[in-house]
Chains A and B, each alone.
Chain A
């Protein structure tokens, strides 16, 4: 047995995207043990939602929890608030919500993939992925009026309508994007240099993933078919617009890349279906009721299952709001997946987890 060294990494580090601290115990460059420390960026959003803001304003506050999955947070909150005030939203609003969630998934997944490439030392692929990602940002700007923090889902429906010419523009740009995505899939799948850093790195078995409660693309890469879009139909009709689950078996960084890329194909198909079959109805269900009782909502954010719990007491201000972000569920598995890897491959592994600490710590 060789000498063991402890290497701290974070909370500020060049290859870390988020304020997250890891302490690796290494032995001849092999990681034998890891501890993780999160909660560096606590902002007290839950408390603010329950004290300062009225329940209709909270959907804008929780939209600022995370820059990448803003729409997932505001949609999940809107759904939980709609359950509390007991209203059903119009069908068109449901479809528009799904449209923005899927466009958001495209840009979030491509960001993650580009960072995996960068942290594996493949700068050119990082640039290429970011270049191809730009179209989704522009489309989100055209639909929601903003590149980030869309403020699209509000309690009772959506805030803006999709203009026909914008819908047509999205379809045209998606047609351009498809060959680009195929090119990316080819590079991520077959590039020999990238495979040296990605294949076999950060692997987690299916049993471990099940035991440690992994969610999102992390779980789907390990062979678990966990996806909220596959399980619930009552709030958003995912299966109607052609959702299919994507899984891989290996559970390593490479498998996660492939799951993300294949999910983008599914997302693209869903966006096309949504725009082509957009139902005609109002955008908002108006109500003057106050939130009462308790409710729980699950939604598939780009990183996995997002969970919202809210409790109302017949006043304008909520009594309790609880947010459980997908990264929080994955932290224990992140620590597990480092074991037995080279220390040099940790940046790529961390990027492939796609951690979102501003969601986790709020």
Chain B
């Protein structure tokens, strides 16, 4: 009988659900949202890339040695590991703004895999180039040093 009266009363109550697209749902202040990046503060240690569990951060490098930060919001799991690992406060940070959905046009999975491989390759290329230059320089130094030695003799 109690339930019956309660059911009657419920007819005149407001619904418990929220009208989501028109009315914002509950979002706490420190919601795990988009990851932000400040290029001016970054010291390019790549620690965030190393700790990221799904591999949503990657740095590419051009032949002059300048690094570029790439981030995929669809692969990211928003675990905040990168923020915790960052040695420079504020270089990588988390905002409370929810991430936007990925669209088909962005080709976010295959495109990202290609970008990831490319970035790793660009870094390997730069490292190889640097090694080659260093070896050349060492050889030149050695040759120059040898000449000097001969001159002294």
Please measure, in the bound complex, the distance between the C-alpha atom of A332 and the C-alpha atom of B47, giving whole angstroms: 47
Q: Does B28 contact A (CB under 8 A)?
A: yes
CA distance A320 to B75 in the complex (A): 26
Q: Does B53 contact A (CB under 8 A)?
A: yes
Number of B residues with CB within 8 Å of any CB on chain A: 15
* Chain A residues, Cβ within 8 Å of B16: 131
With A60-B77, A145-B30, A145-B32 as given contacts, are A159 and B51 in contact (CB-CB < 8 Å)?
no
Contact A57 B32 (CB under 8 A): no
A60 to B30, CA, bound (A): 19
Q: In the complex, how many angstroms separate the beta carbon of A161 from the nearest chain B beta carbon?
A: 10
CA distance A77 to B98 in the complex (A): 28
Chain A residues with CB under 8 Å of B77's CB are 60, 149, 151
CA–CA, A53 and B51, complex, Å? 10
User: Nearest Cβ in chain A — how far from B26, in angstroms?
Assistant: 5
Binary interface encoding of chain B residues 93-119 relative to chain A, with 1 for a CB under 8 A from any of its CBs, else 0: 000000000000000000000000000
**Residue among A57, A144, A159, A160 making CB contact with B53, cutoff 8 Å:** A57
Across the interface, A145 reaches (CB within 8 A) one of B28, B81, B84, namely B28
Bitwise interface map of A from 135 to 173 toward B, beta carbon under 8 Å scored 1, else 0: 000100110111001010010000110010010000000
- Quick check: is A56 within 8 A (CB to CB) of the other chain? yes
Q: In the complex the two chains form, what is the Cα distance from A194 to B77 in whole Å?
A: 41
A141-B31 in contact (CB<8A): yes
Cβ-neighbour of B31 out of A60, A61, A145, A159 (below 8 A): A145
> B67 within 8 Å of A by Cβ?
no
| Selected A-B contacts with CB under 8 Å, 7 pairs | A141-B26, A146-B78, A151-B77, A151-B79, A159-B81, A160-B80, A166-B28
Measured CB to CB, the residues of B under 8 A from A are: 16, 26-28, 30-32, 51, 53, 77-81, 84
